Amino acid sequence: MLKGSSRRQFLKGFGIAAVTIAAGGRTIVGRTVDSRSSYNLLVVGDSFIWGQGLEEKDKFYKLIADWLETNGPLPGLPVDLKVKAHSGATIKLHQDAAQAYKKVGRDEAHEYHPEVNVGFPSMFKQVELAANEYKIAANARGADLIMLSGGITDISVAKLLDPFSDPALLPPLIEKYCRDDIYELLVHAAELHPNAVLTVVGYFPIISAKTHGSKLFNGWLESMSFPRILKPFANNPMTRSLIFRKIRKKTMLLSKIWIEESDKNLKAAIAMFNAQSGQSRAVFVPSPITEDTCLETPNTLLFRIGKKGRSEDPLYPGRQAECRKALPELKRSTGLDYPVRYCEIAAVGHPDPAGSRAYAEAIKAVIADHVR
């Protein structure tokens, strides 16, 4: 039987619990039980975070979604996975695409198969589309966790590794896209998804001194649609020593600039955002893929070019068909010209299943203390 102050404390505690329930949660024996029916995971970005070439079960966002169901704020809470990322997405809609779309009256929200590498919908549009879908579903919270990557498609891998470019021109481009535009994307995403933790996933080295020279040269020739029958004349010890050695050395330098500058500027964007928001809402995930495991190294964690010019991913046949259908139509209707062959082998240089698992583990290590 409760007496005096004990009874008053009980009633006071009961009143606090009632207020908590009215506010949308409930308190039981000193712990708060979340009233959410699901944990909302939103994936925004480019081919990297989309998981180019991977089956759904192997994509690192799916591995994270599965992990959250047992390790999230409430174990057993279903994860509502919404993926807006797609191959080729740029952070903002580029001017040439915007003008071409406007000319033919096409909305940026027009979607292509996510394996087809086109710049639209942009990442800005992706977070807007997701926010609208949450509202339609009467989900006022929006996303609880946003995983994103961005910056490399705004520059393009071809430009990043252009052996005839001036390396001094690369850092300012990376700063613009990986710092300034990513910062603006974080602000935009936070405004539309006010409860979300924002996770920026870092890129990886493209090539290194451990990259196999002839295999790299073969991939380069494939990306340019070089006639396969002529490859032995172009890719042999003599031509590699005369021509490709200098090209390889230059691309290794560019790759090193890319990984160092992109990491630095993505972290700077996060620091700017957290300072502006007054809390640590955004976090950075460094790449688990290193110069030892990047493209065409003995222990690579990335998809490679296989026999007959096919990329070694399971989605190659379907992507080839989609690229051959979508890109000629896009050119006819808007004038925007995306290389079909580059689209077909787009999985090359993206994490394979083992690389994806490595990224999932890296993400878990960073977000474990931040999911809420």
Which residue, 222, 207, 209, is CA-closest to 312? 222
- pLDDT of amino acid 221: 60
DSSP assignment letter at 73: S
- pLDDT of amino acid 25: 38
CB 245 within 8 A of CB 163: no
pLDDT tens profile 12-66: 343 333 333 333 333 323 333 456 789 999 999 999 999 999 999 999 999 999 9
pLDDT band per the 50, 70, 90 thresholds, residue 181:
very high
pLDDT tens profile 215-264: 565 555 655 555 665 555 455 566 656 666 777 788 899 999 999 999 99
- pLDDT of amino acid 165: 87
Average pLDDT score, the chain: 86
Here the tokens at position 32 are: 């708060």
Alpha carbons 287 and 285: distance in angstroms, whole number: 7
- pLDDT of amino acid 31: 30
pLDDT band per the 50, 70, 90 thresholds, residue 214:
low
Strands annotated E in 10-148: 26-28, 31-33, 39-44, 79-83, 145-148
Could you tell me which residues are beta bridge partners of residue 146?
A: 42, 198
- pLDDT of amino acid 32: 37
- pLDDT of amino acid 83: 99
pLDDT tens profile 252-301: 999 999 999 999 999 999 999 999 999 999 999 999 999 999 999 999 99
Name the CA radius of gyration of the chain, rounded. 24
Q: Is 83 helix (H, G, I), strand (E, B) or coil?
A: strand
Q: Omega of the bond prior to 121 within 30 degrees of 0, cis?
A: yes
Judge whether residue 151 has pLDDT over 90.
yes
Residue length of the chain: 372
- pLDDT of amino acid 244: 63
- pLDDT of amino acid 307: 81
Judge whether residue 84 has pLDDT over 50.
yes
- pLDDT of amino acid 161: 80
Strands annotated E in 45-175: 79-83, 145-148
